[in-house]
Structure 1
Amino acid sequence: MGNQVNPGITFSSIEAEMNEAMPELTVKTIKGNKYLYLRDKVKVNSKSLPLSVYVGRLETVAREDVLSKLSVLHTLRLTTYLDYRLEHYSFTTLDRTRAVDLETLRYFYGLFKELYPDESERYMDAMYLRYVQGTTAIEGNTISLREAQELLEHNISPAGKKMDEVYEILNFINLRRYLEGYSGDVTEKLIRKIHEILMNEVLRNPGDYRNIQVGIEQVDYEPPPAILVPEEMRALIGWYRQNKRHLNPFELAVVLHTKFEMIHPFVDGNGRVGRALMNLVLERSGYPTLYLGLEDRAAYLNALVKADDGDYAPIIEALYTIYREQHGRIAEEVRQKLSGGNSRIEEENARLVRQFARLKKEV
């Protein structure tokens, strides 16, 4: 991981080209008149959606007209992306405003990774560090953020800490490595493997479902009896498979996590496994990592327990608010950077100007 704990976004002067094709100028002839268009594509999942912006009649338009239409094209990219996402994903608890906000975040986070790979990698590493320290701190681990960084990056164990606490942090190195090489779907086998990795050297039989009754600390809720855990877990995976293709990924991730926590299938480590599942779904869907700190614990647990009667609105709203505070600036900062110009924009402009000059000569 990188050396920064601060997850602030910075931008280098060298950017990678986007995976999408750059816009092109095309001419359409109608009744002898030539009309100029900017054409492009925006990639959503495996689909490339065509974009077209009318510039004007070729014989009358100027170079400035072409460049001014680029901002229109950039806006069209986003709106086309959002329209497709909102049309193809349902949201049963999220309202439309929040769904749009989350999809906008996903869009600009994708741009951030494509245009600024070095900075985005540092950002993701900083988020992961906060996630690891936070998800263990919520469960009582006393290792600080700085100590967790020293442990994860340099294998320096903090003085005066129990070995269980050290292993709870270090196990996330193996989990990250495992998930990076895992291309399968969410299954019971995966969930048990995540627990096995995270609770290695912490529990006697990591990966095994509980055979005793457990509770959730500081929450007035009693999970189902141990004898029902296998049946409940099969039902959980069935729900996930039924909803993974059409439910908004943020809602899918949060509800999957919440349903898992209500089952509480293991003797210990359920919170860490559930939050790992949630982030697996988010990250595979193109979203950044969601992390929770001690300051979020009370609101998080209070919202979580309200889902006992099937009301997922409180936990979705609570995690949306936290998530928005963590990552909301990505969209605004990338938007501002693009509008202010960078090497990609300058290259795009120069190429279109050259293409425009060639087309004008042909008039």
Structure 2
Amino acid sequence: MHVFQVATPFSTGTGIYLPGADLLVTNEHVVRENASVVVTGPKLEEQLARVVYLDPFYDLAFLRLEAPLDRTAVSILSTLPAVGTPVLSVGQRFGEPARTASGQVAVEEYRRHGIPYLAHDAREGSTLAGSGLYTEAGELAGINMLDDPESEERSLALPAPLVLEILEAFAAGEGSPAARCFACQRVTFESGRRLPERCPHCGGELTLPSTVEDVAPTGVNATIEEILRVAGHDPRLARRGPNLWSIRQGSASIQVAYHEESGLVTGDAYLCQVPEAPSAELFEYLLRENTKTRQLTFSTYGRDIILSLLIYDRYLTVETALPRFEYLFEQADAYDNVLVEEYGAGW
């Protein structure tokens, strides 16, 4: 069950790695308007993966990693599982632990907009779009796509036999990037020097992967990314949404966000967690340190201990903000060790 997390400047999602095809499968709407996306997962450092297949009709996209992963093969069902077959959904939001839910197949062929889906009740919040639906034997039964509009207790998955057909259609291009036309459902491969601007089969709109360019940030976002770059971080790997970046400094996780309405740029370093039975000395320490840190503030949210930096966008330049962010990164990596080792906080 090779579940991975996918992020772009616009959205985040879940993906499934298929070793036999050396492809990571996710939703087309997650990677739309991106030539490359950030991917991470178990034993995989954050990296950029190229989009090599776009399928707006089935809402699928294929990504190719920098190098094939050494993972065990995934068996993909070639026939539809019967009603009542036990199934397991495995999904993961970016930055969160993997979640699972068990259930059964409710309908073998549930048609919606001309597409056959498996309807199942293995959800409980775990059927994230792009996540995998598996049998008890670990076989891929489908890819979760959306909630059932007719039942709050069910989700709809693209069945594995159909996923196999799509993989075989893509494999016919021998690795060439490709896209499926939404209008006629024909697959077009990139070949030659001239890429078609419309579907060569029906003339409908068609977006091929190589015609897509990665987003170029502007304004405040461009300044934030330049600050991150000068501070030694790749801003492309840090993007988690339109105005959100996530980086790691040592053992600390730091989220940088731009709140356009208020004009605030925030840096929140999530250091560690308050222990279940915290001591008064821990909170006394945080209050004392608040009087010492320059322009940084300790706070708690739930059980998280956070060290924060606030800057208004009108004052945000590389020259003025870089020293503050570097100070945040430096202090975050030091404070988490103190809180864990001396005050019993948890990682």
Q: TM-score range by the shorter chain?
A: under 0.3
| TM-score under structure 1 length normalisation | 0.24
Higher relative CO (Cα under 8 Å, sequence separation at least 6) belongs to: 1
Q: Which of the two has higher C-alpha Rg?
A: 1
Q: Which has the higher strand share?
A: 2
| TM-score under structure 2 length normalisation | 0.25
